[in-house]
Amino acid sequence: MKTLSLLISSLFVAASAFAQSPGSAETPAAPKSAEPGPDLAPISAIHAHVCGIHFYSGNMKRQLIAQHYCAHLSDEVLQCVLYDSEKKDAHLIGVEYIVSAKIFESLPADEKKFWHSHNYEVKSGALTAPGAPEAAEKDLMKVLIGTYGKTWHTWQVDRGDKLPLGIPQLMMAFTKDGQLDAKVAAERDKLYSVSVAAKKAARADIPDAKVDPNADAWQKGSAVQLDLKTVSMTAK
């Protein structure tokens, strides 16, 4: 089974397609004060951009586009910061952790219910690597298809919140046709001049990954979501 080491390699290929290095001939060098310093090491480790579409666990009608900027912790673990756009003033709306099938299989059943599979996201064309050459994106999808994600949104921009109000919300991913809102899909397609249908057709030959039955817990009729409660303060 492929590990995320191959994924990291593919992500670097995808990243190079949409970003120029600061010292390239096409892009002026950044001012020295803007160069990443030691204190920005976690930020400078981000090397790839993937665009996905999430829905709130328990409410599939609330769907939104999420821009993922990812770094790797190991061959089998990625961590991504999520924004609602690619703009400089984009809202930081959440985080997603991505693990290999091997790691996911080792998790206890109670933990697995927080995670979603990526099989359908890949095969449907809903997941993209903006700016990546088609061949590089497809290689990336061949690895992502077998991974699992745990996603928390902290800012509910889809309801117009001006601040990150309330408690984090668990997000999920689609698992079959008919779930993705056509309007949201069209919005994503317009952003990058792509087609969900075309990407689905291009990925038809990617073998389906075996999905652990304990992932995508909402499919069993009881979605998981956080609830706020007050607890007594423990004395020191």
pLDDT of amino acid 9 = 52
Length of the chain: 236
Choose among 146, 120, 143: nearest CA to 199. Answer: 120
Residue range 30-46, pLDDT digits in tens: 444 455 566 789 999 99
pTM of the entire predicted model: 0.84
Mean pLDDT over the full length of the chain: 87
Contact predicate 207/138, CB 8 Å: no
Residue range 60-71, pLDDT digits in tens: 999 999 999 999
- CA-CA distance, 199 to 214, in Å (whole number)? 28
pLDDT at 178 over 70: yes
pLDDT of amino acid 236 = 75
pLDDT of amino acid 201 = 97
CA 41 to chain centre: 21
The more confident residue out of 180 and 3 is: 180
Amino acid at 176: K
Let me know the angle formed at the C-alpha of 144 by 155 and 209, rounded to the nearest 5 degrees.
120
Question: Residue 33 pairs with which residues in a beta bridge?
Answer: none
pLDDT at 7 over 80: no
Choose among 53, 201, 174: nearest CA to 117. Answer: 174
